[in-house]
């Protein structure tokens, strides 16, 4: 599959499976799963034809493993990033001592004052390593990476979950758990 076409298709799938299932005329179940056949039919009707083989290739090769299939590959969901209400049914999990959040300088005054908030998504998204956080931040400009005292938060009773693709989720991060921005390597 041509890389440009693959990225375009992957972005459309993220839109449908995270934010706007109606765009492909489908619904997600309570846990965010869509029927693969219905999704492919819906994409075709929306003028965004993706073959079954292409979908499997996208799931397999996606750089951030954004999509997950169920055991018999009849259902698919986005592993994180939703704005539509879904329950990913992930178990609370003890996080590593430190997690990282990539953002940009213009958000720092608000983040320093009120901590990290989920904004339009369900949860604050945190990365297990600094390099990934830097990439996340760079979507919006010159990246700034914040260290989150996840171990201390967990000890204080905050519930963390980790998605199928290794992104850490937490409802919010109060300012007292945020360290000073990490300087670029
Ligand atoms: C910022 C992508 C002001 C926050 C990524 C971020 C990730 C605040 C933005 C996933 C704030 C929200 C999520 C506050 C947080 N005041 N700004 N109190 N608290 N912010 O896109 O973490 O590539 O909803 O710093 O890789 O950037 O799409 O969250 O800049 O894993 O698969 O508000 O989405 O995944 O932005 O990204 P987002 P995010 P994909």
Tell me: do 67 and 113 sit in the same domain.
no
Atom of ligand 1 nearest to the CA of 110: 16
Look at residue 184 and tell me if it is in a domain. Answer: no
Dist. CA 133 → ligand 1 center (Å): 10
> What is the predicted pLDDT for the residue at 185?
59
pTM of the model: 0.91
What CATH number is attached to the domain comprising 26?
1.10.10.970
Residue to mutate (ligand 1; options 59, 79, 81; most atoms within 8 A of CB): 81
> What is the predicted pLDDT for the residue at 180?
83
* Average pLDDT, 10 consecutive residues per value, the chain (185 residues): 95 98 98 98 97 97 94 97 95 98 97 97 96 96 97 98 95 96 74
> What is the predicted pLDDT for the residue at 63?
87
| Domain final position from 24, 44, 78 | 78
Domain housing 161: 99-177
Atom of ligand 1 nearest to the CA of 114: 18
Tell me: do 54 and 112 sit in the same domain.
no
153-181: pLDDT as tens digits: 999 999 999 998 999 999 999 999 999 88
> What is the predicted pLDDT for the residue at 160?
98
Contact 103, 137 (CB under 8 A): yes
Tell me: do 63 and 126 sit in the same domain.
no
| Domain final position from 45, 78, 111 | 78
> What is the predicted pLDDT for the residue at 182?
84
The total domain count for the chain is: 2
Look at residue 83 and tell me if it is in a domain. Answer: no
Q: Which residues of 59-78 are buried (b: 16+ CB within 10 A; e: fewer)?
A: beebeebbbbbeeeeebbbb
Compute the distance between CA of residue 43 and CA of residue 105 in angstroms, rounded to an integer. Answer: 37
């Amino acid at each position: 599959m041509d890389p440009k076409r693959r990225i375009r298709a992957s972005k459309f799938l993220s839109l449908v499976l995270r934010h706007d299932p109606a765009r492909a005329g489908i619904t997600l179940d309570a846990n965010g799963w869509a029927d693969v056949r219905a999704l492919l039919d819906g994409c075709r009707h929306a003028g965004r034809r993706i073959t079954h083989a292409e979908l499997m290739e996208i799931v397999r090769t996606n750089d951030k493993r954004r999509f997950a299939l169920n055991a018999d590959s009849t259902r698919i969901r986005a592993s994180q990033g939703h704005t539509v209400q879904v329950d990913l049914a992930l178990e609370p999990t003890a996080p590593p001592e430190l997690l990282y959040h990539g953002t940009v300088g213009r958000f720092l005054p608000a983040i320093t004052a009120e901590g990290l908030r989920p904004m339009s998504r369900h949860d604050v998204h945190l990365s297990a390593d600094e390099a990934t956080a830097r990439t996340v931040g760079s979507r919006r400009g010159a990246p700034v990476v914040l260290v989150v005292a996840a171990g201390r938060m967990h000890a204080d009773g905050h519930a963390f979950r980790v998605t199928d693709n290794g992104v850490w989720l937490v409802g919010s991060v109060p300012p007292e758990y945020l360290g000073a921005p990490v300087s670029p390597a």
